[in-house]
Structure 1
Amino acid sequence: MKSPFSRPSTPSHSPMRYTPPSSPMRHTFSDSLVEENVEIAEALIAKWDPTAASGYSKFASASASLFHDNNRYDAKQFLICVKNLQAAMHYYVKENSASDKLVRAQRLMQAAMKRLEKEFYYILSTNREYLDPESVSNRSSRASTRTSSVSDYEDDSEEDEFRFAGPDSSPSVQSEEDRVSTIVMTDLKAIADCMIASGYGKECVNIYKVVRKSIVDEALYHLGVDRSVSIREIQKMEWEVLERKIRGWLRAVKFSVRTIFYGEQILCDHVFSASLPIRQSCFNEIARDGALALFGFPQSVAKSKKLSAEKMFRTLDMYEAIANLWPEIESIFSYDSTSDVRLQAVNSLIKLGDAACLMLADFESAIEKDSSKSVPSGGVHPLTRYVMNYLAFLADYTEVLSDIIADWPLKGQSHLPESYFNLDDESYSSAMSARIAWVVLLLLCKLDGKAAVHKDVALSYLFLSNNLQYIVSKVRQSNLKDLLGDDWVAQHESKFKQYIANYERVGWSRVIDSLPPPAAHAADTNGVKDYFKRFNAEFESAYRKQLNWVVYNPELRDEIKVSLAKKLLPAYTALYKAHGTRLRRDAFRESVVRFSPEDLGNYLSDLFHGNGESGSVSSHSQASSSLGSSSGLSSEAKSR
């Protein structure tokens, strides 16, 4: 018999054998906790059944939204439940990938994501006024976007209402518009974070791209950014039509970059802050097409065959607009996926710069080839007015043009001798300064040729003095002075004063020489009469020729008259006082003493208005009667 205390021999396959489970308490606790989380999630998801509406249609009312103010506690719990549901799914996969509990959890996750998709679309589509790029960019410029992190939705220690971080979040500081916008952006970010973390980022991103791209495209369309216009159509446009489009583009580009694209970048970066690749993909698809059309237009204009010197300024306006916006363009489109936008902007700058250089070269060539006749009256030539006004406008684009022509050499640009222009002159501080000085030199050389056409040398000098004075005046009154410098101005002022001196010497020397020296005043009557007759003839001849001549600048006109009066009146007055009274009592005094000193002064004052009748000496009264129209012309010339 076996001892009652001995261990019975039991077969290993006996059903009576008991094998304790591995860690029974840990398994039971984890499983029950996961199941409890799933049941909570199922109840909340069922409460917000996403099958109540089809597609992405609007909810029956705003209060039906999970993220409505009245439902925000449920929204917070909903996101927490999704997170717990995701954890439960991971747990079931680890324990038993074929478990019915995993299938149940997965079905609940799909329902929850469907609900969040609808909420995401609803928030995007019904809050456009709070999410438009202009509002977003404006708020960003005032302060950093005030948003809560996703922890605001997950931290059970927080109050039921969503909290928004930031010192300016209080109602007393934050406007109602900002408050609503902050809530909306926070909701979008929370939903996006949740869906991305749950593996449903693609669905969220697709909704965002469709809605936001339509908003950006619509905004650009209203600004006049037309993507349907081809390069061929632009090249066929009349300049008036094309210029209107350029003006519209100039108004649109700054707003598009600094408001539309910038605001969209802020919103996209905020909503999808959880994923850099998603941010890049979203922003690229939303903004790329519109940006390429925006920055492609200037390049199409630059290729136009109808560009001429007059179109230079619109070309420079476009170049300047892109150049000024380049830091923002580079920052906003910094992703590799948007590199083609940056490249398009750079290509437009290059093409616009090339077009500007070509137009400036054509402008210089037109000056050299100009064959217009000289002005018969010796006034300011139309070529001078055109060139100097053109250069004065160009001087307003100094910074832009300096970049464009920095590497554009002057040599070989003209058939003029190099000695006319010192390319190494240190007085020209930039390529722009040298280029402007070169164009002015071309004009001066062309004016020299036109002056030589005049048969009267005095008229040639008057013509040169008129035109050079106009050139110097334009330089003084514009930014050209900063480019050419004080030394250039002083040098050319001295030159035009020399022209005036030459004019007086050639045009009036015979009149001045006809007056006798003081010692000759004691001559006999016949000798004195000869002096008067000679003076009369020379003065009438000079006056007759010069009555049609013009000095448009009032100051220069008065300066010449005063100078001539100082040379003529003292000597003539002395002769007149010595013999004029006695000879005027002669029966033939009209043929001997024809002018009193006062008469000479009056006749001189009638000169240089360009309104006399050739071939006769008009009286002072006749010249004065037309002074009104002459002075009007002078005023116009001065204003130019």
Structure 2
Amino acid sequence: MRGLLFSSSKASSPSNSSTQSPARTPVSTPHHRTFSASIQEEDLLYAEQVIRRWDLDSPFYTKLDSLFTGDRREARQFVKSVKNLQSAMHFFVSESASSEKLIHAQKLMQVAIKRLEKEFYQILSANRDVLDSESVSNRSSRARSSVSNSDSDEDDRISTWGTSVSDGERATVSEMVMADLKSIADCMISSGYGKECARVYKILRKSIVDETIYNLGVKKYSLNQINKMDWETIEPKIKTWLHAEKIAVKSLFSGERILCDYVFSSSEKIRESCFSEICKERAVTLFEFPELVAKSKKSMERMFRSLDMYTAILEHWPEIEMIFSFKSTTAVCKQAVASYVKLGDAVRAMLTGFESTMQKETLKTPVHGGGIHPLTRYVMNYLVFLSGYSEAVSDILADGPLQVHSPLPESYFSSMTSDDSSSISGRFAWLVLVLLCKIDAGAELYKDVAQSHLFLVNNLNYVVSKVRNSKLRLLIGEDWVAKHEQKVKQYCWGKLSFKFNEAYRKHSTWIISDRKLRDEIKISLSRKISPAYRTLYERYRGYFQGVDSVVRYAPDDLGNYLSDLFHDAGASGSTHSSSSSRYLSRGR
């Protein structure tokens, strides 16, 4: 109404009328003015009849009455009457700004707007279940396509909405309710009562957003509060945030933006104002949490959860940027970017710390039995898990690449170019190389040469199997895997075979003259050596392809060698020596 009066007074002011050419000033005959007045008076009379039936101050009004339930023809008539009333008021203003008809029309308009405001409130409050963000998001394309339709088309879309619907009807009812809200909003905005309509909308929708965010577990924290929390307290909060962020971006905020854009399609200013007031504060709180975590204490245990949050923002950034595209909501985008950058900095710092710790680590005590060292398990499991975030890590390294302290040797793997040394592939390859160097140094701790080789076999095989069966294989390359698989075979068979060969040559000159004693000793040696060797042989024969090409001694060969021991040159056992020589000369 205020907008109408202001525009009308401006249009009739001397300054505006003086700029108009007399030749272009419309000339109205008395007969024409009388005819127009007659039409407007009829519209006013018809509007009064319709509007008075729904007067909230009428003694016949009941709270159960609603324009937008049951027969929708009455709702159409009411909205049309308000529009006709608005047209009549424009005419009366042009005739006389103080006429009784204009005053009467203004009072009638206040009755109508009060009724529409009530209907708007009822629809919003009674249909929360079908105006939830998921339902709104699911029919977003249809809603957006309807924004450009004209008011006359909108009248045709007014349909019945109910209070109880099944899942199958939810989308349809959601669309009907949204159409009703838009019809009322358009009518109130065009009549100069957009602020009143927006006020009701903000109150109800903001309460829904606040409630949803609270139920998702999103709370506002300070950096001091985060710093005081131990990891067992922070990690569940990060898990909660990851779940909440996905729902908030994909459903809650996107649904609110779609609903707001649709209902207030006739006013960009109101549309922006409503969405900003409803969602801005909660969205900033949501995206502030990762920045606080990134600024807090940095430890290796926080690496992967930090990457989870980094990845979430990276994946959802297109939606975040689109949802909060209003100028008044740029603070949300800025906060999301700030968290994204700080998380990247934190991950980069933790990667540097991880590398530094690896380089400083020394293997001080040998592992019992030449087994897998805890450092080998820790580093490889860490790298395997980290390789699952290869895209995020690559993005982080691109912003600030970590420096390789020494170049990768050319013989390490042939498929990498010099430009790859600072890439994510080069980074992972370098970390594995550092570990292998540690393993080589750890083998020197064993006094027994056999256990030293066994340690190398176990640990190198563990590294290769972890690379082969994870995304590290894609990052480091097939050449690396093939080359190091061959090394494991050589360690496993070549070194052990060489030891046995040396031991055999040494002991083949020894003689036990007593046949019974000689046989007892050989049986004892066979029981100790043959089963263990056969187990080792069968285990790795099934594990590696082409193992026979590097195995010098099969289990049966080992038995033949043992049977040749401790005979003197003239003994009957000397017949075995020729067969032993053949095995030694094979070089298998």
Question: Aligned pair in 2 of structure 1 residues 105, 423: CA closer, same or farther (>3 Å)?
Answer: farther
Question: C-alpha displacement at 1:388, in angstroms?
Answer: 0.6
CA distance in 2, matches of 1:113, 1:457: 95
SS of the aligned residue for 1:377 comes to helix
- Show the counterpart of 1:116: 116
Equivalences for residues 155-304 of structure 1 within 5 A: 162=158, 175-227=168-220, 229-304=221-296
Mapped to 2, the partners of 1:554 and 1:408 lie a distance apart of 46
Matching residue of 1:572 = 562
Task: Give the distance between the partners of 1:553 and 1:353, measured in 2 at CA.
Answer: 48
- 257-266 or 333-342, larger mean C-alpha shift: 333-342
Asked if structure 2 preserves the Cα contact closer than 8 Å seen for 1:333 and 1:339, the reply is yes
Q: CA deviation at 1:455?
A: 2.5
Unmatched tracts of structure 1, length 5 or more: 1-20, 54-58, 165-173, 584-596, 598-640
CA contact (8 A) 1:466 1:552 kept: no
TM-score, normalization by structure 2: 0.80
1:369 and 2:360 equivalent?
yes
**Aligned to 2:398, what secondary structure does the other structure show?**
coil
Give the number of aligned pairs: 528
Q: How does 1:209-608 map to 2 (within 5 A)?
A: 209-227=202-220, 229-305=221-297, 307-372=298-363, 373-411=365-403, 413-414=404-405, 419=409, 425-426=416-417, 431-501=423-493, 503-504=495-496, 507-516=499-508, 554-555=539-540, 563=553, 565=555, 568-574=558-564
Paired letter, 2:129 = E
Match of 2:45 in 1: 39
Q: Deviations over 1:193-244 (max 9, x none)?
A: 01111111011111111111111111111111123x2222122112112111
Partner of 1:621: none
- Whichever residue aligns with residue 337 of structure 1, its letter is S
Shift of 1:90: 1.4
Query: How far did 1:473 drift?
Result: 0.8
Distance 2:141 2:73 in 1: 32
- Structure 2: distance between partners of 1:566 and 1:508: 14
- 1:358–1:153 CA distance, 2 compared to 1 (3 A): closer
- Asked if 2 retains the 8 angstrom alpha-carbon contact of 1:459 and 1:503, the reply is no
Structure 1's 36 and 226: CA in aligned 2 closer, same or farther, altered over 3 A? same
Contact 1:466 1:551 in 2 (8 A): no
* Deviation of the 1:152 alpha carbon: 4.4
- 2:57 aligned counterpart, secondary structure: helix
Could you tell me whether the CA contact under 8 Å between 1:333 and 1:341 is conserved in 2? yes
Deviations 1:78-127 (A, max 9, x none): 21121111112211221111222222211211221111111111111111
Q: When you count helix as a share of all residues, which structure comes out higher?
A: 2
TM-superposed deviation, 1:562: 8.1
Q: 1:409 to 1:400 in 2, by over 3 A?
A: closer
Q: 1:581 to 1:325 in 2, by over 3 A?
A: farther
| Superposed displacement of residue 153, structure 1 | 6.1
Paired residue secondary structure (1:131): coil
- The alignment partner of 2:362 has SS state of coil
- Return the letter of the residue paired with 2:183: A
Distance 1:512 1:111 in 2: 112
User: Residue 35 and residue 146 in structure 1: after superposition, are their counterparts in 2 closer, same or farther (change >3 A)?
Assistant: closer
1:458–1:506 CA contact under 8 A, matched in 2? no
1:429 deviates by 9.2
Mapped to 2, the partners of 1:116 and 1:175 lie a distance apart of: 29
Equivalent-residue separation in structure 1 for 2:350 and 2:106 (angstroms): 68
Question: 2:537, 2:242 → 1: CA distance?
Answer: 38
Unmatched runs of 5 consecutive residues or more in structure 2? 1-26, 161-166, 574-579, 581-588
Of stretches 333-342 and 387-396 in structure 1, the one that deviates more from structure 2 is 333-342
Following the alignment from structure 2 to structure 1, what is the Cα–Cα distance between the partners of residues 139 and 566?
86
Higher Rg: 1
SS at match of 1:26: helix
Partner AA of 1:465 in structure 2: V
1:82 maps to a residue whose letter is V
> CA contact under 8 A between 2:158 and 2:179: conserved in structure 1?
no
Distance 1:418 1:572, change over 3 A: closer
Structure 1 CA distance, aligned partners of 2:284 and 2:385?
A: 30
Question: Would the aligned equivalents of 2:537 and 2:555 in 1 still touch at CA under 8 Å?
Answer: no
Distance 1:403 1:43 in 2: 67
Asked whether the equivalents of residues 260 and 274 of structure 2 are also in contact (C-alpha less than 8 Å), the reply is yes
Structure 1 residues 380 and 391 mapped into 2: Cα distance closer, same or farther (>3 Å)?
same
Q: How far, CA to CA, are the matches of 1:554 and 1:142 in structure 2?
A: 63
Identity fraction in percent: 49
5 Å matches for 1:95-110? 95-110=95-110
Q: 2:11: which partner in 1?
A: none
Distance in structure 2 (CA, Å) of the matches to 1:492 and 1:81: 84
TM-score (norm 1): 0.74
The one-letter amino acid paired with 1:426 is: T
Distance 1:235 1:34, change over 3 A: same
